[in-house]
Amino acid sequence: GTLWSKFKFGSTRKATTGMMGSKKTGLVELWMTDDPSLPMRARVTAFITNAQRNLINAFEEIDPNYKFLLDPWTRASGGNGVSGVLSSARAEPKFAEENPSVLEKAGINISMVHGKMPPSAIAQMKANHSSIPYDPASNASLPYFAGGISIVIHPRNPHAPTIHANYRYFELTSDPKEGEEPETIAWWFGGGSDLTPSYLYEEDAIHFHQALYNACQPSGPSTYPVFKKWCDEYFHLSHRGESRGIGGIFYDDLCNEPHHRMPNAGPGERPNEKEEIFTLMKSCVEAFLPSYLPILKRRMNMPYTEQQRRWQLLRRGRYVEFNLVHDRGTKFGLQTPGIRIESVLMSLPETARWEYRTDLGEEEGTPEAELLATLKSGGIDWLSKAKQEVC
Amino acid sequence: GTLWSKFKFGSTRKATTGMMGSKKTGLVELWMTDDPSLPMRARVTAFITNAQRNLINAFEEIDPNYKFLLDPWTRASGGNGVSGVLSSARAEPKFAEENPSVLEKAGINISMVHGKMPPSAIAQMKANHSSIPYDPASNASLPYFAGGISIVIHPRNPHAPTIHANYRYFELTSDPKEGEEPETIAWWFGGGSDLTPSYLYEEDAIHFHQALYNACQPSGPSTYPVFKKWCDEYFHLSHRGESRGIGGIFYDDLCNEPHHRMPNAGPGERPNEKEEIFTLMKSCVEAFLPSYLPILKRRMNMPYTEQQRRWQLLRRGRYVEFNLVHDRGTKFGLQTPGIRIESVLMSLPETARWEYRTDLGEEEGTPEAELLATLKSGGIDWLSKAKQEVC
């Protein structure tokens, strides 16, 4: 249609800010390519498309014997996406055994879906977005767009943590007339990133949170503390009384309306306008590699025992439990007829394990028990910990 | 209390019907110990307690190097249970490697819980049990009892199927006066058993269904066909469009009222009275070993490849998905505050696996593809298949 043809993939305009990305491919030029004259859905699509390629390049440098499978798909009722998957299960078993991948399973995916939002769903959205100019009595459906990038990296080494991130943009529009752009009548951004170690290295947790703090801080002092707390609340396995990991950031429904988690944040204390909130999204996505690669690199070649591997697989069982039982996105996906199930469940680890009343983690003073104690603590202020250590 | 002290565990009365069970232990005598003068909750408790021990004995004969851990528990708000678990993860790693267990993970559990049912839950129950003499306006809670046996066996060999069974009795009572028995004001039985192979052996599927047919048939011709269809409907992963396995039987809310799945079943066509429905439960529990052991014994020592093991673990991933996403009992457990999470999740396999768009099962004509085709067929009439083969 009109809208999609305006996308400037492969634009030759130079990036205004240099960033990481593979020198081999020259994709660094595209990383920050952005044309503010385009509608936001097109800018988000261009940004996540290039982010996906740069992230895949970076992880292929870490894992030079393996390639991500790029798996594009289209959705019958509107939209498309590209799944990017690294799995050593796809390699010849002998090769995989002799050349174990650093990443046991990794997915770096983008999706841009659109369709018609039914009246009941619009009514629910009005709870968080009171300005939506919609009369429930009209009983009309409205076009929506949702575009996002989703990342899950499960390294093989038990000392290297799993990381997850997801950043997305959502909008409701008017029904466009033939040949015209639809009018945006509501929009918001959401996202977050969190780290799930099997063994706790305080320096890793501090590094990760510091990188997220650095990414959020330019958007206002209310961002990181609010998003950090939200993350601790969201990634919680209530049936275990455990956090999934050591947290990170999480936010949703960010738009130019008052936000229920930042009711008193004045100008400059939070991002208020669309451009500012997109800047926050870009900053967070760009922080992904700096937040994680230094940790992965210092853990990925550490020696480990069979027992440590077993503990890691038990922790991956918890990861499966969170995703199948609690995660809103997964639950929504599983309930949606005709959804692409392989994409919905790509976040699951290659292997997970459940033991009845395992002895691992039971013995006080062990690293396994130390992790459990942290996960049961309800959330730790890692940045204060960093300051304490400096003093 | 009064009720529980009447239990006749270890009664010296002879069983009226001889059954399987370990000759070593003499527990065969207890298998059918039953005192019809006791309240049904006590009879069910005695039956499942002895069934648990006989089943554990039978599987320890299959796996002579391993013992089930008997793990008794009590529930703060009322009731108790005994989990019986075999897991080679509890053995010394070197011993386990040199003496791999036949059963990778097995749970044979009983629970007898009681408490107060809140008015909202009673109101829901009245939907299926219209005779409950309860006035919602009274806003009163009522005492309940739920007793059952739950079995999940995950063998190690990919050619040997996983089996699951659960049989339970539920009742609502009046608030008993001091020193008196409570009056039962509503009761019902539920249960079922289903088989989940990684590789399809038609003779196994036919044997399993034949054994369940034999167990149900004395209770009336309406039982097996109705329970078989119900099982196919219940153990279905809607998000995959697949059955969990090759089915079995499933029933619930069986009592002396009309049943919505057997509306036209006259006298003799279904079990109508409490004694008849308890007989059905006993018959089904007693059919567990005959339905499964012959299959396990002919598959447990078959040679297998790494790829077959990988396929088994992928199928176990589906098992995890069913239990965490669809199974009503597990979902109820996960949402219940203070529940014993280790018991709720004991049904999960020791190891499970997820691959993005795995190649296994994709190639037509392979045993993996053959299983998938069966699971996507929506349910097969195995007993007609058996008859066709005889003709």
**For each of chain B's 391 residues, which pLDDT tens digit applies?**
233 323 333 333 333 333 333 333 333 333 446 888 889 999 999 899 889 989 999 999 999 999 998 888 888 778 888 999 998 887 888 898 899 999 999 999 999 988 888 888 888 887 778 778 888 788 888 899 999 999 999 999 999 999 999 999 999 998 877 777 788 989 999 999 999 999 999 999 999 999 999 999 999 999 999 999 999 999 999 999 999 999 999 999 999 999 999 998 988 999 999 999 999 999 999 999 999 999 999 999 999 999 999 999 999 999 999 999 999 889 888 887 777 888 889 999 999 999 999 999 999 999 999 999 999 998 899 999 887 766 5
C-beta atoms surrounding B233 within 10 Å: 13
Residues of A in contact with B339 (CB under 8 A): 239
Tell me, yes or no, if A328 comes closer than 8 A to chain B by beta carbon: no
Considering only CB atoms, A325 lies closest to which of B105, B317, B334, namely: B334
Separation of alpha carbons A205 and A291, rounded Å: 10
Instruction: Answer yes or no: are the C-beta atoms of A9 and A46 closer than 8 Å.
Output: yes
Of residues A46, A175, A168, A187, the one with CA closest to residue A115:
A175
Considering only CB atoms, B351 lies closest to which of A342, A346, A353, namely: A353
Of residues A377, A237, A389, the one with CA closest to residue A320:
A237
Query: Are B325 and A334 an interchain contact pair (Cβ–Cβ within 8 Å)?
Result: yes
Q: Is B239 a catalytic residue?
A: no
Which of B 220-239 lie inside 8 A of A, CB atoms? 239
pLDDT in tens, A15-37: 333 333 333 333 333 444 688 88
**ipTM beyond cut 0.85:** no
Cα–Cα distances in angstroms (integers) from residue B290 to residues A238, A381, B196, B215, B296, in the given order: 40, 58, 17, 10, 10
Considering only CB atoms, A354 lies closest to which of B307, B335, B349, namely: B349
Query: Considering only alpha carbons, which residue of chain B is nearest residue A107?
Result: B356
Contacts of B165 (CB under 8 A, 6+ apart): B149, B150, B151, B191, B192, B193, B194, B284, B285, B288
Separation of alpha carbons B54 and B33, rounded Å: 13
Q: Which pTM does this prediction carry?
A: 0.84
